[in-house]
Amino acid sequence: MSEAESTPLEEKLTAPVRAAIDESAYGSWRSIATEDAVSLSFGFPDPDLFPQSGLAESVDAVLAEEGDEALQYGAGEYREELRSYLVEQERERGIDFDTHDLLVTNGATHAIDTVCRAFLDPGDTIIVEAPTFMGILGVFRNFGVDIVSVPVDEDGMIVEQLAAKLRHRRERGAEPPTFAYTIPDFHNPTGTTLSRERRERLLELAEEYDFGVLEDGAYSDLWLDAEAPPPLATMTDSERVIRVGSFAKTLAPGVRMGWLTAPKRIQEATETVAAGGTNTFTESFVGHYCESGQLDDNLPAIREAYRAKRDHMLDELEENMPAEVEWTEPAGGFFVWVTLPESVDAEAMLESAAEAGVTYLPGPMFYPGDGGENALRLSFTYVKKDEITAGIEALAASIAQAR
Amino acid sequence: MSEAESTPLEEKLTAPVRAAIDESAYGSWRSIATEDAVSLSFGFPDPDLFPQSGLAESVDAVLAEEGDEALQYGAGEYREELRSYLVEQERERGIDFDTHDLLVTNGATHAIDTVCRAFLDPGDTIIVEAPTFMGILGVFRNFGVDIVSVPVDEDGMIVEQLAAKLRHRRERGAEPPTFAYTIPDFHNPTGTTLSRERRERLLELAEEYDFGVLEDGAYSDLWLDAEAPPPLATMTDSERVIRVGSFAKTLAPGVRMGWLTAPKRIQEATETVAAGGTNTFTESFVGHYCESGQLDDNLPAIREAYRAKRDHMLDELEENMPAEVEWTEPAGGFFVWVTLPESVDAEAMLESAAEAGVTYLPGPMFYPGDGGENALRLSFTYVKKDEITAGIEALAASIAQAR
């Protein structure tokens, strides 16, 4: 917003919003798609797994059974059934609904944004993994907060590095962070999972240094080998954890439904700030769909499809990658994180990679500050197996050329 | 949140959110519905006017024609068609899309909330009509702003009273307000319409005192006698006006779709803060529905139905109300505003009114501060004609008893 004179109304935008407009991450990554290259860029589900006819049937059933009520303010019973279904799911994960409550949201990002609105004042500090979900960095920027980033290895966030940072902050008299944002299960973008020991240690630190934990479970149901350790929200009685879930990866992104579970009074606070309400008609037909058991019934097939794709991508990496290239072996989720030789700049390589026939997201996008220059994220879920083959071969050729 | 000891996480909620939780308006008005009384309380559309089969057909058509794309991130062409349809509608109203742009939102409240997020810092001042849409007062409270309220008469906001307040504020060196929130067409809750002269004067004041105008057009398409004067957004070149629209009253609340049009760079800012995105599948089937022409085709029948109900309510008021009771005669929208003799407290009367067979919303709910003690809002859209008859008779009896 700097190229022309500001209008009077622009002058009134909040300072964090003015700063965020310039930094907006989404604009840049959308432009990377090219028609002729295999896209390993986007964290899109496999569209062949979308339950089109099931959702259409649920729309018809809700309208037939509930009539006008389904379209009125408040909606009808099926909306309640969505909530009951989600509460039951979360209870099965181990969340205590005597002390916790659930809020349905317009997607997981909306849930996280709502938590931010409840808690963040400009100048507050939050903790994130580095790398982390790039889309959420834009959300955090809107709040004008300081971001402390903690590196990730094969067991997720390196919690002892967080401990050191917290110790230093305390020594110099800094305020406690507001919360730590983590994707403990099948992390975006690295595919790694936070170990049970580190989960326990993170919760100890939250207690010792007085911060909350915002646990993003967007990929939790998409375990491919074995379930992840229990949610952080179930491992403590301290009422410090807010857990976020999403239908985007298991049902379809287009329904834009997510939820959060939080200690009761925190849920109340998020409900107060989640202005405008949710899409009650969508809640109704998704509720019908879930209650029919179809979502649960589909999960094994979804896991099977992604397991095959993941295995194929790992095989192709093994077969094609030059020496000195490393990659993660995700036990679930959507992503493989590739680390190139230090001399290779993943962002600079993208243009030639696209010409060679593959696109990916360069590492720096996932860092709140510097980092990830020689890394990139691959998604194995959206593409077909032969595209994975072609994409990894093109990537290998590009790396060989760039070294 | 005061009755028990706060948990550590609660202590971290922002100050405006902590204050807002206690004041939350929605809790109280929901509790007024009673099963045996005619509800003239809620601003609900007539459910008989919901296009159930049309929407179901659009869902099927979108899934058949676009397949998986309709459920994927970004969605397909029909989502674009919604945008094109809305741009065309707004252009026909007179909005200049060389200088303005449109953002689709999860309902009008979400649009307004998004504008607040872009502009409001705690301690800022905004201007509202008194009375005004009670649901939005809760949204404004979340931002910890000061509210200047301006009375309403039969020609809408009494703009000269605003002028006087602005003059006094300037004299004592106060900062300019950030924006004035107004519902110029068929106002909620009074049903009045801001005259063309007052629109011009309000825009002059915005220029002179440097504030924006947030124009809520939720009822603009629901004129019953004649269209309202042109939108404020079309009456100035100063790029100070943001206009909000809604599908809740003309299509169905359940689809939870709204939009805003704003000067381009303001639209950019709102897009940046509208985190989480919109419900792209709903946008797709609503887009299909609108492009098919069905929404436009239905509007005359919707107006006809509401015109008959409004006329009937005004007739019944004329026939039944005791002397000293006054009411507005709305040229559109959903509401009649009734002013009782000064000695009658509308809130205190509600219990006996419910027993007599009618509920309404008491005036004070619509005021950011004191006011409206002897006033109440009636909605004529949701109920059937015979319910209007019974409701107004019960109301007349209650007032006679309360005087």
The string of pLDDT tens digits covering residues A301-352 is 999 999 999 999 999 999 999 999 999 999 999 999 999 999 999 999 999 9
Beta strands per DSSP E along B13-137: 38-39, 100-105, 125-130
Kindly compute the dihedral angle of the four CA atoms of residues B206, B263, B277, A135, in this order, to the nearest 10 degrees. Answer: -100
How many angstroms separate the CA of residue B43 from the nearest CA in chain A? 9
Chain B partners of A18 at a C-beta cutoff of 8 Å? 269
Reduced to 3 states, what is the DSSP secondary structure of residue A378? strand
CB contact at 8 A, A365 and A134: yes
CB-nearest to A12 from B56, B178, B279 is B178
pLDDT tens-digit series, residues A117-167: 999 999 999 999 999 999 999 999 999 999 999 999 999 999 999 999 999
CATH of domain A52-295: 3.40.640.10
Tell me which chain A residue has its CA closest to the CA of residue B43: A73
B71:A52 CB<8 A:
yes
Rounded Cα distance between A164 and A154, Å, is 19
How many angstroms separate the CA of residue B57 from the nearest CA in chain A? 9
Chain B partners of A275 at a C-beta cutoff of 8 Å? 109-110, 113, 138-139, 142
Chain B partners of A50 at a C-beta cutoff of 8 Å? 68, 71-72
Band the pLDDT of A25: cuts 50, 70, 90. very low
B263:A9 CB<8 A:
yes
B119:A14 CB<8 A:
yes
A360 phi and psi, to 5 degrees? -150, 175
Q: What percent of chain A has pLDDT over 90?
A: 91
Chain A partners of B17 at a C-beta cutoff of 8 Å? 117-118, 269, 272-273
pLDDT tens-digit series, residues A218-239: 999 999 999 999 999 999 999 9
| pLDDT at res. B24 | 56
Tell me which chain B residue has its CA closest to the CA of residue A20: B272
CB contact at 8 A, B334 and B160: no
3-state DSSP helix/strand/coil % of chain B, to nearest 5: 50, 15, 35
B55:A72 CB<8 A:
no
How many angstroms separate the CA of residue B23 from the nearest CA in chain A? 10
Chain A partners of B253 at a C-beta cutoff of 8 Å? 71-73, 280
Q: Which two tokens stand for residue A61?
A: 């059933």
Rounded Cα distance between B176 and B173, Å, is 9
Tell me which chain A residue has its CA closest to the CA of residue B111: A276
The dihedral through the CA atoms of A228, A234, A238, A242 has a sign that is positive
Q: Which two tokens stand for residue B270?
A: 């709102």
Report the residue of A6, A28, A71 to disrupt the B interface, i.e. the one with the largest count of B CBs within 10 Å: A71
Q: Which two tokens stand for residue A161?
A: 């590095």
Rounded Cα distance between B290 and B299, Å, is 12
Chain A partners of B56 at a C-beta cutoff of 8 Å? 59-60, 63
CB-nearest to B60 from A13, A56, A266 is A56
Homologous superfamily (CATH) of A10-51+298-402 is Aspartate Aminotransferase, domain 1 (3.90.1150.10)
At B214, which helix (H) or strand (E)?
Answer: strand B212-216
Long-range contacts made by residues A16-23, C-beta under 8 angstroms, separation at least 24? Answer: A16/A122, A16/A141, A16/A142, A16/A143, A16/A144, A17/A142, A17/B117, A17/B118, A17/B269, A17/B272, A17/B273, A18/B269, A19/A141, A19/A144, A20/A138, A20/A141, A20/A142, A20/B272, A20/B273, A21/B268, A21/B269, A21/B272, A23/A138, A23/A141
Rounded Cα distance between B73 and A44, Å, is 7
Tell me which chain B residue has its CA closest to the CA of residue A59: B56
Beta strands per DSSP E along A43-136: 100-105, 125-130
CB-nearest to A256 from B59, B248, B279 is B279
Give which of A43, A335, A362 is closest to A191, Cα–Cα.
Answer: A335
Side chain identity, residue B338: V
CB contact at 8 A, A15 and A122: yes
Chain A partners of B70 at a C-beta cutoff of 8 Å? 254
Give which of B134, B183, B140 is closest to B27, Cα–Cα.
Answer: B134
B269:A48 CB<8 A:
no
Rounded Cα distance between B4 and A326, Å, is 53
| pLDDT at res. A27 | 46
Tell me which chain B residue has its CA closest to the CA of residue A6: B265
Rounded Cα distance between A138 and B293, Å, is 37
Give which of B184, B106, B62 is closest to A277, Cα–Cα.
Answer: B106
Rounded Cα distance between B228 and A187, Å, is 53
CB contact at 8 A, B161 and B150: yes
Residues 6+ apart with CB under 8 A from B164: none
Report the residue of B1, B13, B66, B280 to disrupt the A interface, i.e. the one with the largest count of A CBs within 10 Å: B13
Residue A12, pLDDT above cutoff 90: yes
Rounded Cα distance between B211 and B199, Å, is 14
Q: Tokens 């006809």 — which residue?
A: B304
| pLDDT at res. A32 | 58
Q: Tokens 């301690």 — which residue?
A: B123
Residues 6+ apart with CB under 8 A from A348: A402
How many angstroms separate the CA of residue A338 from the nearest CA in chain B? 24
Show pLDDT as tens, one digit a residue, over chain B (403 residues): 444 678 889 999 999 998 888 765 444 554 455 678 999 998 999 999 999 999 999 999 999 999 999 999 999 999 999 999 999 999 999 999 999 999 999 999 999 999 999 999 999 999 999 999 999 999 999 999 999 999 999 999 999 999 999 999 999 999 999 999 999 999 999 999 999 999 999 999 999 999 999 999 999 999 999 999 999 999 999 999 999 999 999 999 999 999 999 999 999 999 999 977 899 999 999 999 999 999 999 999 999 999 999 999 999 999 999 999 999 999 999 999 999 999 999 999 999 999 999 999 999 999 999 999 999 999 999 999 999 999 999 999 999 999 8
Tell me which chain B residue has its CA closest to the CA of residue A280: B254
CB-nearest to A17 from B8, B12, B118 is B118
Report the residue of A28, A240, A272, A298 to disrupt the B interface, i.e. the one with the largest count of B CBs within 10 Å: A272
Give which of A290, A283, A49 is closest to B71, Cα–Cα.
Answer: A49
CB contact at 8 A, A182 and A193: no
Angle at B351 between CA B347 and CA B352, to 5 degrees: 110
Rounded Cα distance between A46 and B268, Å, is 31
Chain B partners of A179 at a C-beta cutoff of 8 Å? 12
| pLDDT at res. B1 | 41
Tell me which chain A residue has its CA closest to the CA of residue B178: A12
B71:A107 CB<8 A:
no
B261 phi and psi, to 5 degrees? -120, 140
The dihedral through the CA atoms of B160, B163, B164, B165 has a sign that is positive
Beta strands per DSSP E along B277-365: 326-327, 335-339, 358-359, 361-362
- Give the mean pLDDT of chain A: 94
A252:B69 CB<8 A:
no
Chain A partners of B212 at a C-beta cutoff of 8 Å? 8-9, 12
Inter-chain CB pairs, A–B, below 8 Å: 253
Tell me how far CA of residue A56 lies from CA of A51, A295, B46, B81, in angstroms: 9, 14, 25, 21
A1:B60 CB<8 A:
no
CB-nearest to B9 from A15, A47, A266 is A266
B71:A255 CB<8 A:
yes
CB-nearest to A121 from B1, B14, B73 is B14
Beta strands per DSSP E along B217-344: 241-246, 258-263, 326-327, 335-339
| pLDDT at res. A114 | 96
- Provide mean pLDDT across the span A387-398: 98
Rounded Cα distance between A193 and A220, Å, is 10
CB contact at 8 A, A321 and A399: yes
Tell me how far CA of residue B260 lies from CA of A275, A292, A330, B248, in angstroms: 16, 37, 42, 14
CB-nearest to A254 from B56, B273, B281 is B281
Chain A partners of B268 at a C-beta cutoff of 8 Å? 1, 21
Chain A partners of B273 at a C-beta cutoff of 8 Å? 17, 20, 142
Tell me which chain A residue has its CA closest to the CA of residue B207: A8
Reduced to 3 states, what is the DSSP secondary structure of residue B77? helix
CB contact at 8 A, A350 and A362: yes
How many angstroms separate the CA of residue B142 from the nearest CA in chain A? 7
Chain A partners of B236 at a C-beta cutoff of 8 Å? none
Eight-state DSSP code of residue A177: P
Q: Which two tokens stand for residue B261?
A: 């049009």
Cis ω before B229 (30° cut-off from 0): no
Strand partners, B377: B337, B361
Chain A partners of B105 at a C-beta cutoff of 8 Å? 276
Residues 6+ apart with CB under 8 A from A354: A32, A34, A36, A37
Indicate the pairing of strand A156-157 with strand A179-182: unpaired
Domain boundaries, chain B: 10-50+298-402, 52-295
Neighbours of B154 (CB within 10 A): 11
Architecture of domain B10-50+298-402: Alpha-Beta Complex (3.90)
Rounded Cα distance between B230 and A65, Å, is 42
ipTM: 0.93
Q: Which two tokens stand for residue B78?
A: 């029909």
